Chains A and B, each alone.
Chain A
Amino acid sequence: MDVSQYLGIFLDETNEHLQTLSDQLMILENEPENEDTINEIFRAAHSLKGMAGTMGYKRMQTLTHDMENVFSEVRNGKIKVDGHMVDILFQALDALEEYRENISENQDEGTNDNEPIINALQAILNGESASGSDAGPAPEAAGAAESEPAATEEKKDAAPAAGDKWLDIVLHEPEQHVISEAIKNNSKVYGFTVYIQETCILKAARAFLVFKALEELGEVIISEPSVQDIEDEKFDFDFSLYFVTDSPIDKVKEAILAVSEIDHVNGDVIDMDHAKIAKEDDEDEPAPAPAEAQTEAPVASSAPAASSAPPATKDTKGADNKKTGANKPAVNRTVRVDIEKLDVLMNLVSELIIAKNSLVSFSTSDSSHSGFNEQIEYLESVTTNLHESVMKVRMVPIESVVNKFPRMIRDLSKKLNKQMELHMTGEETELDRTVVDEIGDPLMHLLRNSADHGLESLEVRRERGKSDVGQIYLDAYQDGNNVVIEVRDDGNGIDTEAVKKKAIERGTITPEQGETMSEKEIIDLLFLPSFSTAKVVSDVSGRGVGLDVVRSKIGALGGDVSVKTKLGEGSTWTIRLPLTLAIIQALMVVVGNEKYAISLGSIQTIEDVAEEDIKYVEAREVINLRDTVIPIIRLHEVLGVESVKEPNANMVVIIVKKGDQLAGLVVDELIGQQEIVIKSLGKYINCSSRLISGATILGDGEVALIVDANVLI
Chain B
Amino acid sequence: MDALNIAREYETVQYIVIKIGEEQYGIDISFIDNIVRMQSITRVPHVQPYFAGVINIRGEVVPVMSIRLKMGLDVDEYTNKTRIIIVKTESNAPIGLIVDEVKEVVTLDERSIDEVIHDSKVDETYINGIGKNGDTLISLLDLNAVISDKDNS
Write the residues of chain A forming the contact surface with B, with a CB cutoff of 8 angstroms: 384, 387-388, 594, 638-641, 679-689, 691-692, 694-697, 701-705
CB pair B63 A705 closer than 8 Å: no
State the CA gap A639–B54 with chains docked (Å). Answer: 15
Contact among B47, B51, B55, B65 for A703, CB-based, below 8 A: B55
Pick from B61, B94, B152: contact of A695, CB below 8 A: B61
Residues from chain A with a CB closer than 8 A to the CB of B95 are 682, 684
A/B interface sample: 23 pairs, CB < 8 A: A384-B59, A387-B59, A594-B43, A639-B45, A640-B45, A679-B60, A679-B61, A680-B61, A682-B63, A682-B95, A684-B65, A685-B44, A685-B48, A685-B51, A686-B47, A689-B45, A691-B46, A692-B45, A692-B46, A697-B59, A702-B42, A702-B56, A703-B54
Given A679-B61, A695-B42: A685 in contact with B56 (beta carbons within 8 A)? no
Which residues on the A side are within 8 Å of B44 (C-beta)?
681, 685, 687, 692, 695, 705
A638 CA to B94 CA, complexed, in Å:
28
Q: A684-B95, A703-B54, A703-B55 are in contact. Are A697 and B47 (CB under 8 A)?
A: no
Question: A384, A680, A686: which contacts B149 (Cβ < 8 A)?
Answer: A686
Cα(A388)–Cα(B58), bound, Å:
11
How distant is the Cα of A640 from the Cα of B59 in the complex, in angstroms?
26
Beyond A679-B60, A681-B54, A701-B56, 6 extra complex contacts between A and B, CB < 8 Å:
A388-B59, A640-B45, A685-B54, A686-B48, A703-B42, A705-B42
Question: Is B62 in contact with chain A by the CB < 8 A criterion?
Answer: yes
B143 at the interface (CB under 8 A from A): no
Contact status of A703 and B46, CB under 8 A, knowing A682-B93, A684-B149, A685-B54? no
5 shortest interchain CB distances as A-B pairs = A703-B42, A679-B61, A387-B59, A689-B46, A695-B61
Q: Which B residues lie within 8 Å of A686 (CB)?
A: 47-48, 149, 152
Residues of A within 8 A of B54 (CB): 681-682, 685, 695, 703, 705
Q: Which of A641, A685, A695, A702 contacts B40 (CB 8 A)?
A: A702
In the assembled complex, the Cα of A704 lies from the Cα of B53 at a distance in Å of 11
Binary contact track B60-92/A, C-beta < 8 Å → 1, others 0: 111101000000000000000000000000010
Residues of A within 8 A of B53 (CB): 703
State the CA gap A691–B95 with chains docked (Å).
21
Do the beta carbons of A691 and B63 come within 8 Å of each other? Answer: no
In the complex, the answer to whether B59 meets A682 with C-beta atoms within 8 Å is no
Q: A594, A638, A682 — which one has the most chain B CB atoms within 10 A of its CB?
A: A682
A686 to B45 CA separation, bound complex (whole angstroms): 10
Report chain A residues within 8 Å CB of B62: 682
The yes or no answer to B147 lying at the interface (CB within 8 A) is yes
B 119-134 contacts with A by CB, 8 A: none
Chain B positions within 8 Å of A701 at CB level: 56
Among B58, B59, B91, B94, residue most surrounded by chain A Cβ atoms (within 10 Å): B59
Across the interface, name the chain A residue whose C-beta is closest to B39: A701
Contact residues of B with A, CB < 8 Å? 40, 42-48, 51, 53-56, 58-63, 65, 91, 93-95, 147, 149, 152
Which B residues are CB-close (under 8 A) to A638? 45
Q: Which residues of A contact B93 (CB under 8 A)?
A: 682-684
Residues on the B chain within 8 Å of A388, using CB: 59
A594 touches B42 (CB 8 A): yes
- Looking at the assembled complex, report how far the CB atom of A57 sits from the nearest CB atom of chain B, in whole angstroms: 42
Query: Looking at the complex, which one of A641, A679, A688 makes contact with B47 (CB distance below 8 Å)?
Result: A688
The reply to whether B42 and A685 contact each other, CB–CB distance below 8 Å, is no
Contacts of A704 in B (CB 8 A): 42
When chains A and B are docked, how far (Å) is the Cα of A410 from the Cα of B47? 50
Q: What's the Cα separation between A465 and B55 when bound, in Å? A: 59
A contact residues around B149 at 8 Å (CB): 684, 686
Give the residues in chain B near A688, CB-CB below 8 Å.
46-47
**Complex interface: chain A residues within 8 A of B59 (CB):** 384, 387-388, 697
Closest to B53 in A: A703
Q: Is the CB of A682 within 8 A of B61?
A: yes
Chain A residues, CB < 8 A from B60: 679
Q: Are B55 and A685 in contact (CB under 8 A)?
A: no
With A702-B40, A702-B56, A703-B55: A685-B45 Cβ-Cβ less than 8 Å: no
Chain B nearest Cβ from A697, distance in angstroms: 5
In the complex, A679 Cα to B149 Cα: how many Å?
21
Q: Closest Cβ of chain A: how far from B14's Cβ, in Å?
A: 25
The answer to whether B46 touches A697 (Cβ under 8 A) is no
Q: A682-B93, A685-B54, A686-B152 are in contact. Are A697 and B61 (CB under 8 A)?
A: yes
Chain A residues in 8 Å Cβ range of B55: 703
User: How distant is the Cα of A689 from the Cα of B60 in the complex, in angstroms?
Assistant: 23
